[in-house]
Structure 1
Amino acid sequence: MYWIKLDVVTWMMDDLTAGISTVVLARRCFSSWMIRLWRDIRSSIYLIRGQGNLADIPTMEHRVKQQSDFGIDYPIKRDAAPQNFLKLFYPFHYSVGMAVEKHLSGSNLTRHQTVILWIIHSKGTDGNTIHRKTIERLIGEWYELGSPAISKVLRAMAEKELNLISIKESKTSAREKVIRLTKKGQSTVNEMMERTEAFIKLISDELTDEEIANGMEFMSRVGAIVEGGIAGRKA
C-alpha cells in the first residue's frame, strides 16, 4: 500500500517538475519573442521617422541603410571603406562635430575661446596649465590662426571682463608664456563639459551597449592611427 502511495507521489512530483519546466521554457520563449518584437518595433519607428514604410524593411541590413541614408554601399566591405568613410565625413565632422562644438561654446564663448579652453583642459598639466606655444601648435589643427591672432584671443580671455585665464612668464624662459585657468575659467570648463555630456547622452541613449562599445573602439583606433603620423603621409 505504501509503495502505491509512493508511486503516486513520485508521479505527481514528476508531473509538477515537467509543468514547471514547461512554464520556464514558455517564459524564456516569450521573453525572447518580446525582445525581437521590440527591436522590430524600434527599427520600424526609426524608419517611419525617416523615409519609406514598413513594407520596405525586408532585412536588418536594409533597416540600417534606411537609418543612416548617407549613400553607404552595402554590404559593407573593406575595399569600399575609403569611399564609405568619405561619404560619412561631412555629416559626422560638420553636423555632429559642429553640434558638439555648439554645446561646448554655449551662448557666451566664441569658437576660438572654446577651443583654447578645451586644449588647456585636455592637454594641459593637471587640466589647467599649459605653455602658449603648445596652444599655438595645437590650435593650428583646428583653425588657421597666426601667432598675432592667437595672442589677441588670449589677451581678451585674460582681461577682467572675461577673466578665464592668466598669462605669466615662464620660470625657465622670459620669452615663453604660461597660460593657466582662473577659478572662473575652471568653472566655465566644468559647465562646458556638463552641458555637452548631457547632449551626447541624448545620442548614446539611442544606441545599444554594443554600438557604444564598438563606436568608442573605432574612434580610439582611428584617432591613434592619425595621430601616429599617417595624416602626413602621401597616398
Structure 2
Amino acid sequence: MEASSNFLKRSGFLTLLMIFVLCCSKEVNIPEPVQAYEPHTSKIREILFIGNSFTSFNLGISYHLNLYLANDSLSYKPLIQEAAFSGYSLAVHLTNEQTLAKLNERSWDVIILQENTDIAVNDTMATLESIKAFQELVGNKGTLIYLLMSWPYKDQPEMLIPIIKTFEEGSQAIGATIIPVGEVWTAINQDGNPNIDLYNADGMHPSLQGTFLAASMCYSHIYNQNPSENPYLAGLENTTALYLKQKAN
C-alpha cells in the first residue's frame, strides 16, 4: 500500500515536472518593437517662395511645407517664407521692392519660382528672361532654384501643354529643378476620384487639397522624402491625404 502510494506521489511529481518543462519550452511570441518615425537630415534650412495667389492660397504652400518639417522633429528650425502677391508675374516681382528686399535678406538655400499661369502659357520668352534674371540675382550665393509648375484652369485643360514647354525651357536655361505640380494635378483629375477636387470654386485657385498636393510635392522633391511616411494631414481626411501624398511622391 505504501509502495503504491509512493508510486502515485512519484507519478504526480513527474507529471508536474513534464508540464513545467513543456511550458518553459513552448515558443513565446515577443512582439516586435514599434519602429519610430525617423526624420531626415538636410542642409536645406531656408526656403523662399516667389509667386502669386496660387502660392499663397490656403495659408500658403510655405505654411504647409513648414508643418511637414515640424513633424520631422529636426534638430534645427527651418525658415520657410514667401513673397507672393495676387496676380504677380515673375517679371513684376523683379521690380517689386518687397520681393527684392526679401530676396536679399539672406543667402537662401532654395528659392521656388511660380510664374503667373497666363504668362507661362502665352509668353514663354518673358518667363525665361525672368528666370534668368533671378539666377543672376542669386547665382553667387549658392542658392538652388526650383520651378513650381502651375496647373491649367479647370475649364482649360489644354493649357498644360504650353505650361510644360515653358517650364522645361526654363529648367534647361539655368539648370533648375522642376516641381511638376501641373502634370500630377492633371493626372489626378483624369483619375476621376470623386473625393478629390483640387480646385477652388473659381476653377483656378487651389482648394486645400490642391495646396496640400503642392506642399507634398515640394517636400518630396526638395527634401527627397516620401510624404506618405510623414504624419502631417493638413486637416484632411486620412484617406484623402494619403492618396495625395502617394501621387506627390
**Structure-2-length-normalised TM-score:** 0.28
Name the structure with the higher helix share: 1
**Higher RCO (C-alpha under 8 Å, 6+ residues apart):** 2
